[in-house]
Amino acid sequence: MSGWEDSKTSYGDPEFSVFLRRAFARHLGFDDADFHKPVIGICNTYSEVNRCHTHFPPLVEAVKRGVLMTGGIPLEFPTISLGEVFTSPTAMLYRNLAALDTEEMIRAQPLDGVVLVGGCDKTTPAQLMGAASADIPAILLTGGPMLNGEYEGRTLGACTDCRFYWQEHRAGRVSEQELEEINQALAPSAGHCMVMGSASTMAVVAEAMGMMLPGAAAVPAPDNRRLRLAEETGRQIVALVQAELRPSQIMTYDAFVNAIRILQAVGGSTNAVIHLVAIAGRLGIDLPLSLFDELGRSTPFLANLRPAGRFQMEDFAKAGGVPAVMKELEDLLQRDCITVTQHTVGENLAVYHRPRHEKYHEIIAVREEPLAENGGIAVLRGNLAPNGAVIKPKAATPQLLTHTGRAVVFDSVEDMEARIDDPDLKVVAEDVLVLRNAGPVGAPGMPEAGMLPIPKKLLVQGVRDMVRISDCRMSGTAFGTVVLHVAPEAAVGGPLALIETGDFITLDVPNRILSVALDDAQLARRRAAWQPRFDKATRGWTRLYQEHVLQADLGCDFDFLRRVSVQSAETQPNKT
Ligand code: FES
């Protein structure tokens, strides 16, 4: 039955509902010959406020052509758009709102299948969360990364270089004029940020999971191959509807294992840990943080991409992109997973040949000569993070990965902003900067403030990295020895709330430890005197968010949107 006739609108008489719907569908220009055709929704996150999506109109037209060519009816509809740098206080506060919008609009409208068109950081996970819950045939199409920027012979990447050059400016090494020239070259084309930041990472893991056509994550936004991918996506969604292949059949536990392996191999964003847990949670699949660490230890690091490496997405695409990484790791992958091609991962890889030129091996290393023996994200635990925290060791200073230092504590983002450059702040390079009340509930929305600025007085002395710890996130484009997502967060009484300036904190990444030199009795005494210190919203979305958001280790989804667990590491012990 076509979506037109699958009556959902209730008037107390199902046949009348179909009659009425046909009358109104005729107003859209459709007629009897169309009423049996599959209706394909094109869930479009285009918005003029979202600069990463400026090139969506021709992409969407190409998807429509593909749908029409294969006998479907494409109907575009808008959902919330989250442009990362133009959404306050942080786009993450609205990811679940966008996911709800996506889920409900897919479910409420007469659709047989849906193409999800997104790209900026939070749109991709939101669309996958919504599609997972609605569970009708779906394919993702991301907008693709920007082309490389360039300044004075040096490749520029947004927003790794936004941060790098801003820090150098604060240190007095880059002038106002240079900064302005760099600013003009940082975002040179359509597309999302072009390093392996959160947007690129989410596109990569979505492709690895089988929800996007092979090769689609890396092709730059202005490259005409993206239009061809869009048209092919339109053709393929009609095939998926005919085959009744749903997201829940594609995004299985094994598919998430593949996604985590590729995340680790490309040194992807720590934000992907939160998003993958949230997407899986919509399908009743548990992804404990320990699984990320375990897979990271047995996954070689292959992609030499900023901020953890040298190259950018344009180069990654030339070297073969996700299929090349998957080909190198083929024996580690779950090859029986079905994908939106209607073929398995193994079948897709069997017909794929990665570009042969040796220069591409610098960008995506061959399996025999990896950049490192293990992956890009590590999970820490200890009395400071009982439910876990994450770090990107490959984007950190190696000497700081084992470090004990005196805590310098900031009670909120505002407190940190007010005091970090205070000449009277007692801080030395060996200290550990701590930011708290910046988690999902406390901030709220867990902003990307985790790469705390190095205090100016240390910058001018030449210090460029320090151990930094927080219950918030950092941009996937950021770098440094930065511990993130400490759970539980301070606002709900996690141990981070109890530490004081002067306590000694130990970071031991090789042994996966994050601890404070306080015993249980000391922590208990401080807990007895502790009071929450964050603003509670009294109305609207933020109130709903603060009342229902889960902690980072559970993906920051809402408690009432996760499905009860049906698949987990415990039920699939041999699958890693
Ligand atoms: Fe959209 Fe960076 S601002 S991906």
Atom of ligand 1 nearest to the CA of 51: 1
What average pLDDT does range 162-188 have in this prediction? 94
CA of 83 to the centre of ligand 1 (A): 7
pLDDT of residue 186: 96
Instruction: Give 482's strand partners.
Output: 468
**H-helix segments, 174-252:** 176-185, 198-208, 224-243, 247-250
Is any atom of ligand 1 closer than 6 Å to the C-beta of 441?
A: no
How large is the angle between the packed helices 123-134 and 271-282, nearest 10 degrees?
A: 10
| Residue pLDDT, tens place only, 11-40 | 888 888 888 888 999 999 999 999 899 999
pLDDT above 80: residue 416: yes
pLDDT of residue 575: 41
Is any atom of ligand 1 closer than 6 Å to the C-beta of 251?
A: no
Task: Say how far apart CA 416 and CA 452 lie, in whole Å.
Answer: 8
pLDDT of residue 477: 83
CA of 414 to the centre of ligand 1 (A): 24
Is any atom of ligand 1 closer than 6 Å to the C-beta of 196?
A: no
Is this model's pTM higher than 0.85 or not? Answer: yes
Q: Which residue's CA is the closest to the ligand 1 atom numbered 3?
A: 84
pLDDT of residue 576: 38
Task: Say how far apart CA 341 and CA 178 lie, in whole Å.
Answer: 47
pLDDT above 70: residue 118: yes
Task: Say how far apart CA 428 and CA 469 lie, in whole Å.
Answer: 16
Q: Which residue's CA is the closest to the ligand 1 atom numbered 2?
A: 193
Task: Say how far apart CA 371 and CA 332 lie, in whole Å.
Answer: 17
What is the b/e burial string over 58-90, where b = at least 16 CB atoms within 10 angstroms of the residue's CB?
ebbbbbbbbbbebebbbbbeebbbbbbbebeeb
CA of 7 to the centre of ligand 1 (A): 39
User: Whats the size of the chain, residue-wise?
Assistant: 576
| Residue pLDDT, tens place only, 251-269 | 999 999 999 999 999 999 9
pLDDT of residue 569: 53
Mean pLDDT of the chain: 95
Indicate the pairing of strand 467-470 with strand 402-410: unpaired
Name the nearest CA neighbour of 94 among 121, 131, 64: 121
Atom of ligand 1 nearest to the CA of 85: 3
Is any atom of ligand 1 closer than 6 Å to the C-beta of 121?
A: yes
Atom of ligand 1 nearest to the CA of 50: 1
Share of the chain above pLDDT 70, in %: 97
Is any atom of ligand 1 closer than 6 Å to the C-beta of 192?
A: yes
Task: Say how far apart CA 499 and CA 382 lie, in whole Å.
Answer: 14
CB 323 within 8 A of CB 408: no
pLDDT above 90: residue 414: yes
Atom of ligand 1 nearest to the CA of 199: 4
pLDDT above 50: residue 488: yes
CA of 407 to the centre of ligand 1 (A): 32
Share of the chain above pLDDT 90, in %: 90
Task: Say how far apart CA 22 and CA 31 lie, in whole Å.
Answer: 8
pLDDT of residue 168: 93
What average pLDDT does range 61-76 have in this prediction? 97
CA of 146 to the centre of ligand 1 (A): 10
Q: CA angle, corner 212, sides to 319 and 44, nearest 5? A: 120
Is any atom of ligand 1 closer than 6 Å to the C-beta of 448?
A: no
| Residue pLDDT, tens place only, 191-217 | 999 999 999 999 999 999 999 999 999
Q: CA angle, corner 316, sides to 228 and 268, nearest 5? A: 110
pLDDT of residue 566: 65
Is any atom of ligand 1 closer than 6 Å to the C-beta of 199?
A: yes
